[in-house]
Amino acid sequence: MSEPYQSPISPGRSWYEDSVGERPRYPALDGSARADVLVIGGGFTGLSAALHLARAGIDVVVCEAARIGDGASGRNGGQFGTGQRLWPEEMEEKYGLEPARRLFAMAEEAKAGLHETMVREGIAADFRPGQISLAHRTRYVDEFRRHADHLAERYDYPHLRFMDREETAERLGSSTYHAGLRDVGTGHLHPMKLLVGLGRAAARAGARLCEETRIESLTRTAAGLWEARTARGTISAARVLLATNAHGGRLEPRSAAHVMPIRSFIAATEPLAEPDRVLPGNEAADDSRFVVRYFRKSADGRLLFGGREAYTSASGDIAGQIRKQVVSIWPHLSDVRFTHAWGGSVAVTMPRMPYVAETQPGLDVVAGFSGHGVMLTHWTGKLYADRLTGHGDPLAALRDLDIPAFPGGTWLRAPLLFLAMTWYALRDRL
């Protein structure tokens, strides 16, 4: 029997790969090609852009270095969240009230837009409603309470409610946390089912999808076209969308200076013997740690638990470390069997808001959604398509964000990030 497929760019085989059903293969590009738009990267961003461009009649080619689903989009926690990665309070402080409101409203449109795409394209991705956030220190309790009021009063968001310690324990199946927030306006899904569905929809709409087609270099010709070199040919296009997120390496140096990869890990248990003792309402959960713990149950009753980060390419004993975190919340799961353990690369920026830029004429970059990209990447890909098809400049609000480059230049930024992250992770434990 042949070995199961293993992503060449992310560690471990995920439970998603084993439960996604048929995962179509798209042939590698063989020879040269022309297109109106070249999309580099077959994650949510790239496939959403391709789907919406193709639906508008634009000739689009997507090149994916590995297979669709090998990057973050096929391997994540599947949680939608609400708003942007920064809370509205933080955005107000940074950008002012009106820009914060626009960014929050954009994220609400993203939620609705993703549901609409799934319905229109017939994508069944096991969506389940509800999300709870958990305070792991008493100092977050008042902040949580104020946050729910803030969203209701200033953002007209009525779906978020503060939970006291008792209710939090009931909804979690554990009394480990001090309080929580319950958001019934969001939810979680099987990300790889969504991604595979988006790929099929894009191909149906006329986009050409090429897997195992790495873009090795990008150059702009005197005629103003972009030429992308692959191992087996060259693609020329009037416009390029770089949707490589944490996997872009140095293909485009300006974005490489603004976006950095962090590894995050998830492990999946066997179906739980007593599923109602863990998250009985089937909500997704995340907590207030800097190295956030995020978890939910799958449709077949497994616990999918994400909780460890690494700032180097080493992955270590993923399931062993996640087991400790699981048992610290639900001691009765001390002997539960883990069937899968995997990791993925999250792209972060300095302020934890996305990096959206036209770094050179005709070359757009969309990246850096931290652990908050499931719905936002889809929407940003759509807004990119809207911009190219004459629907104004809906990406302006994201392009206008001040996203500084990581300090330290090419050699020092990785060790500096490592030090900063380690410090925050240490603070979680103190």
Ligand X SMILES: Cc1cc2nc3c(=O)[nH]c(=O)nc-3n(C[C@H](O)[C@H](O)[C@H](O)COP(=O)(O)OP(=O)(O)OC[C@H]3O[C@@H](n4cnc5c(N)ncnc54)[C@H](O)[C@@H]3O)c2cc1C
Instruction: Tell me which residues touch ligand X (CB under 6 A).
Output: 9, 40-46, 63-66, 70-73, 75-79, 81, 214-215, 243-248, 251, 264, 266, 294, 306, 344-346, 367, 369, 371-374, 377
Tell me if 248 sits within 8 A of 368, measured CB to CB.
no
How far apart are the C-alpha atoms of 96 and 108, rounded to whole Å?
19
Q: Tally the residues of the chain.
A: 430
Nearer to ligand X, 29 or 141 (CB): 29
314: how many CB neighbours lie within 10 A of its CB?
Answer: 9
Looking at residue 142, the DSSP 8-state letter turns out to be H
Tell the smallest beta-carbon distance from residue 342 to ligand X (Å). Answer: 8
Tell the smallest beta-carbon distance from residue 138 to ligand X (Å). Answer: 26
Tell the smallest beta-carbon distance from residue 229 to ligand X (Å). Answer: 10
Structure tokens at 302: 């497994």
Structure tokens at 140: 């977050």
Tell me if 397 sits within 8 A of 356, measured CB to CB.
no
Tell the smallest beta-carbon distance from residue 242 to ligand X (Å). Answer: 8
Tell the smallest beta-carbon distance from residue 186 to ligand X (Å). Answer: 10
Tell the smallest beta-carbon distance from residue 263 to ligand X (Å). Answer: 7
How far apart are the C-alpha atoms of 341 and 87, rounded to whole Å?
30
Nearer to ligand X, 145 or 214 (CB): 214
Using CB positions, name the residue nearest to ligand X.
Answer: 373
3 state DSSP class of 300: coil
Looking at residue 207, the DSSP 8-state letter turns out to be P
Nearer to ligand X, 141 or 189 (CB): 189
Helices vs strands, H then E, count in the chain: 12, 16
**Which amino acid does the sequence have at 388?**
L
Interior CA angle at 276 toward 274 and 282, to 5°?
130
Nearer to ligand X, 211 or 386 (CB): 211
What is the four-CA torsion angle of 373, 248, 24, 45, rounded to 10 degrees?
30
Nearer to ligand X, 141 or 260 (CB): 260
Nearer to ligand X, 141 or 193 (CB): 193
How far apart are the C-alpha atoms of 16 and 124, rounded to whole Å?
14
Nearer to ligand X, 123 or 374 (CB): 374
Tell the smallest beta-carbon distance from residue 279 to ligand X (Å). Answer: 15
Q: Is the four-CA dihedral 63, 68, 72, 78 of positive or negative sign?
A: positive
